[in-house]
């Protein structure tokens, strides 16, 4: 059965494996998540399960969202995410999913929003090199350089790497391994780093490539 869950990134630490090697891990508070809606091919054109994570006061939910939660007879949730599964027969509205849906050794993909870096230059944004700070360089050692300045092409090509907004985009990290699952505290330790700052919401689902 396919699996998926919503969680919150708590930070990074390290664990020791059976051979005594240090394994860098990211700790995620996974769930509990409540199934809010089942989407079917007949009613929605595709098949998916919508889950809710995190409590929120009913006063902070608008009428549309309140009606959505009331229809499912579940308490309002702060975050809603959809998971497209091939088979959703075993899942019902109101079911609560916890960290133990995953097990040690599972391969997963983690989706999150990367840290926002603001407006950055081409060196930080794309890893371009700087000019030599010798005679005549002036105060432009970190600048992008000339852009289509001659009569041919006398324009800037599309896709030219230029300074601009960096980060704060949806990022998926694939084929990560689950090192440990603490079902009692709803914690999952995943080997390696995942996108986003501490406290950010992430989704975990089965790896599409494993």
Assess whether the previous peptide bond of 153 is cis (omega < 30° from 0). Answer: yes
pLDDT digits (tens, 9 = 90+) for 37-65: 999 899 889 999 999 999 999 899 999 99
User: What pLDDT, on a 0 to 100 scale, did the predictor assign at position 89?
Assistant: 84
Say what the pTM is: 0.84
pLDDT digits (tens, 9 = 90+) for 82-136: 999 888 888 888 889 999 999 999 999 999 999 999 999 999 999 999 988 888 8
Encoding tokens for residue 149? 């300045």
Confidence of residue 31 (pLDDT cuts 50, 70, 90): confident
Phi and psi for 107 in degrees, rounded to 5? -100, 130
Place of tokens 């360089």: 137
Helices and strands (H and E) in the chain: how many: 3, 12
Number of neighbours of residue 70 by Cβ within 10 angstroms: 11
Encoding tokens for residue 161? 């790497």
Q: How far apart are CA 79 and CA 55, in angstroms?
A: 9
Mean pLDDT of 189-201: 95
Mean pLDDT of 171-185: 94
Give me the half-sphere count of Cα atoms (radius 13 Å) on the Cβ side of residue 11.
2
pLDDT above 80 for 148:
no
**CA 41 to mean position of chain CA atoms:** 26
Q: How far apart are CA 113 and CA 34, in angstroms?
A: 22
The pLDDT mean for the chain works out to 91
Place of tokens 């998916």: 48
Are 203 and 6 in contact, with CB atoms under 8 Å apart? yes
Number of neighbours of residue 48 by Cβ within 10 angstroms: 17
pLDDT above 80 for 79:
yes
């Amino acid at each position: 059965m396919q699996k998926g869950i919503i969680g919150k990134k708590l930070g990074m630490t390290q664990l020791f494996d059976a051979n005594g090697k240090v394994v860098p891990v990211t700790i995620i508070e996974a769930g509990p998540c409540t199934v809010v809606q089942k989407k079917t091919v007949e009613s929605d054109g595709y098949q998916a399960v919508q889950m809710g994570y995190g409590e929120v006061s009913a006063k902070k939910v608008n009428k549309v969202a309140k009606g959505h939660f009331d229809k499912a007879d579940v308490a309002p949730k702060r975050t809603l995410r959809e998971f497209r599964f091939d088979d959703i027969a075993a899942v019902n509205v109101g079911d609560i999913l916890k960290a133990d849906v995953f097990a040690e050794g599972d391969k997963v993909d983690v989706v999150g929003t990367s840290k926002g870096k603001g407006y950055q230059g081409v060196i930080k944004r794309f890893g371009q090199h700087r000019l030599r700070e010798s005679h005549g360089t002036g105060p432009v050692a970190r600048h992008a350089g000339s852009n289509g300045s001659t009569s041919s092409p006398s324009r800037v090509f599309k896709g030219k790497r230029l300074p601009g907004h960096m980060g704060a985009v949806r990022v998926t990290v694939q084929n990560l391994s689950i090192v440990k699952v603490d079902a009692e505290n709803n914690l999952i330790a995943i080997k390696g780093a995942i996108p986003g700052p501490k406290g950010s919401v992430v989704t975990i689902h089965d790896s599409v490539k494993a």
